[in-house]
Amino acid sequence: MAVKNKNVFDFSPALESAGHIQLKDQYELFINGKWTKPKSGKYFKTINPSNEKVIAQVAEASKTDVDAAVSAAEKAFNGWSSLSGKERGKYLFRLARLIQEKARELSVIETLDGGKPIRESRDIDIPLAAAHFFYHAGWADKLEYAFPNRKTEPLGVAGQIIPWNFPLLMAAWKLAPALACGNTVVLKPAETTPLTALKLAEIIEEAEFPPGVVNIVTGAGATGAAIVNHPKVNKIAFTGSTEVGKIIQRATANTDKKLTLELGGKAANIIFEDAAINQAVEGIINGIYFNQGHVCCAGSRLFVQESVHDEVIQKLKARIENLVVGDPMDKNTDIGAINSKSQLETINKYLKIGKEEGLEMFQSSCSVPSKGFWCKPTIFTGAAQSSRIVQDEIFGPVLAVQTFRTIGEVIQKANNTPYGLSAGVWTDKGSKIFNLTQQLRAGVIWANTFNKFDPTSPFGGYKESGFGREGGVHGLESYLKFND
Amino acid sequence: MQLVNRNSPPVDQVGIEDRIARVTARSIKSDMKLAGLQMAISMIDLTTLEGADTNGKVTQLCTKAQYLCNEYPELPSVAAICVYPSMVGVAKKALGKSGIKVASVATAFPSGQSSLEVKLLDTKMALDNGADEIDMVISRGKFLQGEYDFVADEISTIKEACGKARLKVILETGELGSLDQVRKASDIAIYSGADFIKTSTGKIPKAATLPVTCVMLEAIRDYYLETGKMIAMKPAGGISKSKLALHYLMLVKEVLGDQWLSNEWFRFGASSLANDLLMQYAKAQTGAYQSSDYFSID
C-alpha cells in the first residue's frame, strides 16, 4: 500500500509581508542633521529590480550639496572627536540596538530595493550590520589598548563611497570604525540601492547624533567624484569596482588624503580529491550563488582536482536544480533578482563570451519571472586561465570550472590573476590547508567553508583587489593617525 | 571483500550543520504543509518496543493504525507497525487485510550482543510469524573495534535469511561517535544488502537527528549515483513533533529528491508523532488547536 505522493511536497508561496515598512515617496539629502533639498532640484528614481516598479524618488547631490555636507562634517569634527570614547561608544551602541529593533523593516527594504532574497537580508545583511556597530562601539573607549604605547588621533572628515551589493552592511562597515575612532563622515550610498542608507539616516536622527557627524548624500558617479576631489576631505574609503578604484587612486595621489580601497575579486575555490565532497559542493554553491554572485569575494573560479571532477560537476548540476529562483520576498527564495538592468547586461555579455569561446554552459531549468532582471544559476565547464570568464570579474551567478592535477599547479593558477581578495580550500587534510594559506595571495582564505563574515575578522585585498582592511583591530588603523 | 576496502568519503560536521540550518530555515506553508503532514502520517512505523508489551497493547496499537482519525477520512493510514518478534503474530492477525505492514526488530535488539546463530533464529522467528520487514541492529562493538568485515558479513547473512522481507539496518548512530563513523557504517550497511538504513533503536538517549540523517541520506545518494539503486531511509526516536517531521521531509526533498518522498523509501520510527501530526492537521483544517483529548492515545 505504498502511498505515492509524487511531487505534492512542493513549495507554496511564503511571502514576507511589506505592510509594516515606512517609506516616503521622496528622499532628500541628510546634511548637518537635516533633510535638505538638493540645490539642483534633481531627483532620480530607485526601482525594485524584481518587478521594475519605482519605489521612491531620491535626491541627486551636486558638487554644491557635497560642499555643504563636507562643511557640516568639518564643523562637527571638533565636538565629536573631543567626546570621550565612552560617550562615542554610547551613540554607537544605541545605533546598533535601533538597527536590531528595526531589523524586520530594514530587511524588507533591503530586499525590495536591491533584489536580494529576504532570507539573506534577514539572516545575514541586517544582523551583521548591527554586529559591526556593536563591535566598534566596544572599541571606541579602548583605542589605547588596541594600539598600546601609541598616541592615536582621528583623521577628520571621511568620505565614504559604498556599493550596491550589501547596501546597509557596507554602510555599517564604513561608518562604525570611522565614528568609533572619532571621525565625521560624508557617506554616499550606491545609486541603485540608496534606501536602507537613508533609513539609517533616520535612525541616526532618532539616536540623536550631533548634527553633521554623519551626512548621507545620494547620487551617482559625479557625486562620488565631488567627495573624492573635495579638498577638505581627509580620508577616502571606497568599496566598488577596480576600474573606479583606479580613478580614485589617481585623483587622491598628490594629496594628503588617506585612502583605503576594497575592490573586485576573482576568487579561486579549490577542491581536492580528499575533501568532504558533499559539503564542498554546498560550499561552492554558497560561494558563487550567495547574493546572486554580487559578491566581491565570490568563489567564481572553481578548481577541481581531476579525479573528482565528474562527481563534483554531477552534484553541482543536481544542486542548482534545487535552488529556488524567483521573488526575493519569498522566504524560500535562494536566488533573487539581478540588482540592475546594466548589471544584467554585463552578465549576459559574459555568458555570450563564454559560449563563443567554446565552453560548455549549464543552467538551472527553473523558470524566471517575465518582469525584472534575472539570471539563472550558471556553470561553465572546460574553462582555462585563458578564458575571458575566468579572467574578468562577472559579478553574477556564473561559475567557471577548471581542473588541476597537482598542488603546485593549482597554487600557480589560483595566483595567476590581477585580483587577490579571497580564496577557498577544500580538503580533509590540515597540513594541506596551512600550506595553501601560506602560498595563496589573497586577503581572506576560507578552509572548508566560504563567505563567512564577522566584525572581528579583518577583510581586504591583495594586488588589484585593493588595500587597507575593514573589521578587527586592523580596520581601526585606517581611520587613525599615529602621533609618536 | 571489496566493500571493506572501500573508503567512505570524509564528512565535515560544520558543513553538515550549515546545511541543516538552511533546511530548517525553509518556510513550509499552506498546501505544502498539508501535503507534508499527510505524507508524514503515511510514513510512520507506529512502534511499541517494551518489555511490558502485551497482546492487548499491540492489538490496540493496530486498531489505531487502521482507524487513525475518523474525522478526516482523507488521511492515509500509517505505513507499518513495529514490534518485537514475539508480537508479530498478534499484530499480523489484528491488522488482517488492511495492507499495513508488520515490521519486527530482530538480531538481539537493541544491543545486538549475541551470536550470529541466535540472531538468525531471532530473525527466523519474526519471519515465521509473518513479519514483512526486519529491523536488525549492527554489532556496534565490532564496528568500533574496526572489524568491518564482521559487521558486513553479519548484515549480508541476515539479509539472505530475510528472503522477500525488506531489511532495515539500525546503525545506532548515537553510539558511533562521529559523523565520519555514521557515514562508514551507512556504506557498510548499504553495500551489504540493506534495503533501509535506520538511525536508532530508540533505546538510548541519543536518537535520530537531522545532521545524522543528512549524512545517511548522502550515503544513499552517492550509492544511487554509482549504481542507480535506491535505498530507503528511516530515522527513529526523538521525532515527536510535526515541525521536526516536516524538516526531515524537506531534507529528503533537497538531498535525494521527490522520488524518495513515499513510504516505500522513507519512514519515521515513532510512537507519539502520529497524534501531533493529527493535531496540526486539524489545526490547519479548523484554524484552532483541539484539545489532546480529541486524539486517541493507543
User: What are A272-309's pLDDT values in tens digits?
Assistant: 999 999 999 999 999 999 999 999 999 999 999 999 99
Report the pLDDT averaged over residues A41-53: 98
Q: Is A262 a catalytic residue?
A: yes
Q: A66 and A203 share a domain?
A: yes
Residue A279 lies in a domain: yes
Do the strands A466-467 and A480-482 form a parallel or antiparallel pair, or are they unpaired?
unpaired
| Per-residue pLDDT tens over the stretch B200-230 | 999 999 999 999 999 999 999 999 999 999 9
Residue A224 lies in a domain: yes
* pLDDT score of B6: 58
Residue A6 lies in a domain: no
| Residues of chain A that touch chain B, judged by Cβ-Cβ distance less than 8 Å | 1-14, 119, 123, 274-280, 282-283, 286, 311, 314-315, 322, 331-332, 428, 448-449
Report the pLDDT averaged over residues A178-195: 98
Q: A438 and A396 share a domain?
A: yes
Count how many domains chain B has.
1
Is it the case that residue A484 has pLDDT exceeding 80? no
Q: B139 burial class (0-12, 13-18, 19+ CB within 10 angstroms)?
A: buried
Distance from CA of A460 to the nearest CA of B (A): 25
Residue B137 pairs in a beta bridge with: B170
| Per-residue pLDDT tens over the stretch A204-262 | 999 999 999 999 999 999 999 999 999 999 999 999 999 999 999 999 999 999 999 99
Question: Domain containing A53 — which CATH number?
Answer: 3.40.605.10
Q: A206 and A331 share a domain?
A: no
Residue A247 lies in a domain: yes
Q: A439 and A467 share a domain?
A: no
Question: Domain containing B255 — which CATH number?
Answer: 3.20.20.70
- Please indicate whether, in this complex, the C-beta atoms of A282 and B18 are within 8 angstroms of each other: yes
- Which 8-state DSSP code applies to residue A121? I
Q: A372 and A391 share a domain?
A: yes
Distance from CA of A283 to the nearest CA of B (A): 8
Residue B143 lies in a domain: yes
Mean confidence (pLDDT) of chain A: 96
Count how many domains chain A has.
2
Say if B2 is an interface residue toward chain A (CB within 8 Å): no
Residue A456 lies in a domain: no
Is it the case that residue A8 has pLDDT exceeding 90? no
Q: A399 and A473 share a domain?
A: no
* Strands (E) located in B147-292: 166-170, 196-198, 232-234, 268-270
- Side-chain-side CA neighbours of B26 within 13 Å: the count stands at 26
Whether the CB-CB separation of A152 and A480 falls below 8 Å is answered with yes
- Side-chain-side CA neighbours of B223 within 13 Å: the count stands at 28
Residue B178 lies in a domain: yes
Q: Which amino acid is at A15?
A: L
* pLDDT score of B297: 86
| Per-residue pLDDT tens over the stretch A135-171 | 999 999 999 999 999 999 999 999 999 999 999 999 9
Residue A454 lies in a domain: no
Question: Domain containing A321 — which CATH number?
Answer: 3.40.309.10
List, edge to edge, every strand of the sheet that includes A466-467: A34-36, A29-31, A214-216, A184-188, A157-161, A235-239, A258-262, A466-467
Find the farthest-apart pair of alpha carbons in chain A and give their distance in angstroms, rounded.
Answer: 82
From A2, A274, A279, residue closest to B15, measured CB to CB: A279
Residue B295 lies in a domain: no
* pLDDT score of B3: 46
Q: A296 and A341 share a domain?
A: yes
Q: Which of A360, A367, A275, A286 shows the shortest CA–CA distance to A319?
A: A286
Helix (H, G, I), strand (E, B) or coil at A215: strand
- Which 8-state DSSP code applies to residue A15? B
How far out from the chain centre does Cα A258 lie? 22
Residue B20 with chain A: CB contacts under 8 Å? none
Residue range(s) defining the domain that contains residue B154: 15-285
Is it the case that residue A358 has pLDDT exceeding 50? yes
Q: A283 and A419 share a domain?
A: yes
Q: B258 burial class (0-12, 13-18, 19+ CB within 10 angstroms)?
A: middle
Residue B29 with chain A: CB contacts under 8 Å? 12-14
Q: What is the dihedral of CA A183, A185, A190, A195, to 10 degrees?
A: 110
Residue B55 lies in a domain: yes
> What is the predicted ipTM?
0.93
Q: A257 and A348 share a domain?
A: no
- Cell, residue B101: 505492514
Residue B62 lies in a domain: yes
From A2, A275, A278, residue closest to B262, measured CB to CB: A2
* pLDDT score of B5: 44
| Per-residue pLDDT tens over the stretch A67-112 | 999 999 999 999 999 999 999 999 999 999 999 999 999 999 999 9
Residue range(s) defining the domain that contains residue A421: 268-447
- Which 8-state DSSP code applies to residue A463? G
Q: A222 and A356 share a domain?
A: no
Q: Which of residues 94-153 of B touch A (CB under 8 A)?
A: 99-100
| Per-residue pLDDT tens over the stretch A321-336 | 999 999 999 999 999 9
* pLDDT score of B298: 81
Q: A47 and A120 share a domain?
A: yes
Spans of chain B below 50 pLDDT? 1-5
Is it the case that residue A7 has pLDDT exceeding 90? no
Please list the alpha-helical segments (H only) found in A207-308: 221-228, 242-252, 277-289
Q: A409 and A473 share a domain?
A: no
